[in-house]
Amino acid sequence: MRADALKWEPKHQFDAILIDAPCTATGTCRRHPDVLHRIRPQEIAEMAQIQRALVSKAIAWLKPGGTLVYAVCSL
């Protein structure tokens, strides 16, 4: 099943959610130093906005006391 997480509405809440958020890959700069030269400030702002929206959606999907794991390779 595929769905846009920003549009999808689950029928129930979850005990745990893993967000593997889309990112800028700046956290990989040690192995890929070129990433710091090709990413533009506008792209960083766009990714931050998407990440914020995903976290906001996911929080509403969690059961009280649930666990949210947020993974991203951005600095």
Residues 39-56 have a mean pLDDT of 91
Q: Give residue-wise pLDDT tens across range 56-74.
A: 999 999 999 999 999 988 7
Closest by Cα among 28, 12, 21, 9 to 68:
21
DSSP lists the bridge partners of residue 16 as 67
In the DSSP assignment, the letter for residue 28 is G
Which residues have C-beta within 8 Å of that of residue 65, sequence separation ≥ 6?
A: none
Per-residue confidence (pLDDT) for residue 12, from 0 to 100: 95
Q: Give residue-wise pLDDT tens across range 14-33.
A: 999 999 888 888 888 888 88
Give the active site residues.
73
Q: What are the C-alpha distances in Å from 61 to residues 4, 5, 19, 25, 73?
A: 14, 11, 12, 27, 23
Per-residue confidence (pLDDT) for residue 65, from 0 to 100: 96
Residue 47 pLDDT > 80, yes or no?
Answer: yes
